[in-house]
Structure formats: C-alpha cells, structure tokens
Amino acid sequence: MKPTILILCTGNSCRSHLAEGILRAALGDKYTVASAGSKPAGYVHPLGIRAMAEIGIDISAHRSKHLDEFLHQNVETVITVCGNADQVCPMFPGQMNRHHWGFDDPAHTTGTEEEQMAVFRRVRDEIRRVFEAYAAGRLDEGRSSC
C-alpha cells in the first residue's frame, strides 16, 4: 500500500491544492497525495487553478473537502500549510510524520486580476520550491531503504 501524505489548510481552496498538485507531480505514483481543510470553503479558487495550469499541472478536478474524510484512513504524513490548520490538526491513524510550512494565503489578495495573479504565482513558486525539495528527499529516502 502506498503511503498517504495529507496536506491541510483551513479553507482547502488554494494553498493546500497548490501543494497537493505540485507534490503529486513530483512524487509520481509512489505515494497517495491528498488535501483537506478544517473549514472547507467548498470550492477550489479559480486563480489557483489558473496558476497551476501555467506550470503544466491540472488541479481543475480537485474539490474542497473536510479533514474528517481522512480521520479513519491510514495517513502516514500530515503537512499543514497555514497556522490555523496547524493548531487544529488532529492525529490520524498510522501518522508517523508531521510538518508545518506556512505560506501566505493568495485567496485573500485584492486588486486587479493581474495583481492577484502575481500573488498566486509567488505563493505557487514558494510552495513549489519547498514541496519539490521535500519530494526529492522522500524519493531519495525510498531508494536508500531498498
């Protein structure tokens, strides 16, 4: 069974989906990657979908979901990407690892659409740097344990 990595945010509308898409692309099929929120917004932000499409990752089929959907699943690693989710994060069955990497929330950005997209791109790129480095470490770890 593939290890499950769950990325949590409060609204599960933006940052956690950016991270989920990037991590899933970086890890390939060796892991199950999902995201959820403590207070899901009920949608995935359209500018987040657009920002990810710019780097060739399609998250348009993602949906906003509550972390309770995962409470009875075997989750090996939990990663929180906002302070609120970090504070309310429960323990999951099988959880061995927990990380917190906080990022600004582009969903609260104001201004023109292009000004908002600049913030979405910046946060996407910050998330990409952190999560691709994390993925490289996980993949190296998997190779050395064989």
* Active-site residue (options: 7, 34, 89, 135): 89
Q: End-to-end CA distance of the chain, in Å?
A: 16
pLDDT-derived band at 96, boundaries 50, 70, 90: confident
* Active-site residue (options: 82, 123, 127, 130): 82
Q: How far apart are CA 30 and CA 136, in angstroms?
A: 12
Q: How far apart are CA 2 and CA 31, in angstroms?
A: 5
Among 1-5, 33-37, 113-117, the minimum mean pLDDT is found in 1-5
Q: What is the pLDDT of residue 146?
A: 47
Q: What integer best gives the mean pLDDT of the chain?
A: 91
Question: Is 60 exceeded by the pLDDT of residue 139?
Answer: yes
pLDDT-derived band at 83, boundaries 50, 70, 90: confident
Distance of CA 62 to the CA centre of its chain: 11
Q: Tens digit of pLDDT for each residue in 21-36? A: 999 999 999 899 999 9
pLDDT-derived band at 91, boundaries 50, 70, 90: low
pLDDT-derived band at 73, boundaries 50, 70, 90: confident
* Local structure of residue 113 (DSSP, 8 states): H
Question: Is 146 assigned a catalytic role?
Answer: no
Concatenated DSSP letters of 124-139? HHHHHHHHHHHHHHHH
Among 6-20, 76-90, 100-114, the minimum mean pLDDT is found in 76-90
* Active-site residue (options: 5, 9, 36, 119): 9
CB 45 within 8 A of CB 53: no
Q: What is the pLDDT of residue 87?
A: 64
CATH superfamily, domain at 4-139:
Response regulator (3.40.50.2300)
Going from N- to C-terminal start, the domains of the chain cover 4-139
